[in-house]
Amino acid sequence: MMRLPWFDYRAPRSVEEAAKILAWEGNGAMLIAGGTDLLPNMKRRHQMPQTLVSVRQVEALKKIANGSGLRLGAGLTLTELLAVRGLRERYRALAQAAAQVATPQLRNMGTLGGNLCLDTRCTYYNQNYEWRKAIDFCMKKDGEVCWVATASKRCLAVSSTDTAPALIALGARVKLVSAAGEREIALAELYQNDGIDYLKRKPDEILTEVLLPQPDGWRSSYWKLRRRGSFDFPLLGVAAAAKLAADGTVEAARLVLGAVSSHPLVIKSDALAGRKLTDDVIAEIGEAAQSRAKPMDNTDMDLRWRKHVVADFVGYALRELRGDDMSAMRLRIAKQLV
């Protein structure tokens, strides 16, 4: 039986109070919202914070505001996020991503902010203490070597968030608040390609809000590869967003891959601008994305196959943007229509 390690517990009511506690407690404190990522990690002794600072009672983190765009409180559960009026119509990729995270029960608990800050994952890391001890641990926790590629100088654990690629494609920004002040950055800037230091969030900062621009003619789509229709983390995520002129010419586009790197991988998609989404153009972009994707052998399924289907999945996303009826394919892959 895996018990949680001991911890002190604080439950502030406001962001300011939570920020003060984080500043005071220093590196020994960790934030907890839904707990669906942190608590399994604590049970496996990946993280053993001295103090848990729960933001569950901070009402301000549940706020939803329309204005010039949409502001989403980071404390919204994924179920609450999916109930936001107009989300599916205006920010479809986000709805498609959120609806495919984990399971319905876990979406009732896990939050948007939690999914954005999700710990990176790896076959050699997401194991209990005894298992990890038996392989003399790994670089990400308690050890020296990266067992995925023993010559690697950095940890290759995989970015496994579904909502981050979708939100980056949608041009989202996030607000980070600490006792010293606050800052707003593009969501893509929150991440870096390192399995250990995957977030540029400072330990005393709280991710409080996600800010989405007005859809303004942009369409978006998210496709997720996983073995089962529920539970599984992505083995590949493809988020695409584009602004199309009336005749179908692409004015601007963004393409982001999840789960093929230690951070959401933004694919340069300038090549799309000024062109129409013809089958040839889609194939060309798919191949370009596939050559950039570097999945490692540290999640489920065969590595080469996971790389091989990148072009296909980019194709599904771009065809959905183009207006093709992808419902049969989506039912086959996602087991649900969102």
Partner 1 sequence: MSGTARIERRRNVQLRLGVNGEDTEVSFAPYKTLLELLREDLGLTGTKHGCELGECGACAVLIDGEPQLACLKLAIECEGCSVETIEGLARGKELHPLQAAFADHGGSQCGYCTPGVIMTAKGLLDHEPEPSRERIREATAGILCRCTGYQQIVDAIEHAAAELRGERK
- Of 153 and 228, nearer to partner 1 (C-beta) is 228
The structure tokens 């986000």 sit at 94
86 versus 229: smaller Cβ distance to partner 1 = 229
Q: Which is nearer to partner 1, 8 or 189 (CB)?
A: 8
Q: Give CA–CA dist 2/68, Å, rounded.
A: 47
Q: Which two tokens stand for residue 70?
A: 């949409």
- Beta carbon of residue 17, minimum distance to partner 1 (angstroms, whole number): 7
Least Å distance, CB 111 to partner 1, is: 13
DSSP codes joined into one string, 190-214? GB-S-SSS-B---TT-EEEEEEE--
CA distances to 150, 152, 211 from 145, rounded to whole Å, are 6, 8, 38
Given the complex with partner 1, which of 193 and 230 has the nearer CB atom? 230
Q: Are the C-beta atoms of residues 99 and 338 closer than 8 Å to each other?
A: yes
Q: How far is the CB of 41 from partner 1 (least distance, A)?
A: 9
Distance CA 181, CA 205 (A): 9
Q: Are 201 and 116 in contact (CB under 8 A)?
A: no
Q: How far is the CB of 105 from partner 1 (least distance, A)?
A: 4
Could you tell me the smallest distance in angstroms from the CB atom of residue 45 to partner 1? Answer: 13
- Count of all residues that appear for the chain in the document: 338
Say which amino acid occupies 187.
L
Widest CA span in the chain: 61
The residues of the shown chain that bind partner 1, judged by CB under 8 A, are 1-13, 17, 32, 35-36, 39-40, 43-44, 52, 54, 56-57, 79, 102-106, 108-109, 229-231, 336
Least distance from partner 1 to the Cβ atom of residue 178, Å: 19
The residue (of 47 and 79) whose beta carbon lies closer to partner 1 is 79
Give the nearer residue to partner 1 in terms of CB position, either 202 or 335.
335
Q: Are residues 59 and 72 in contact, defined by beta-carbon separation less than 8 angstroms?
A: no
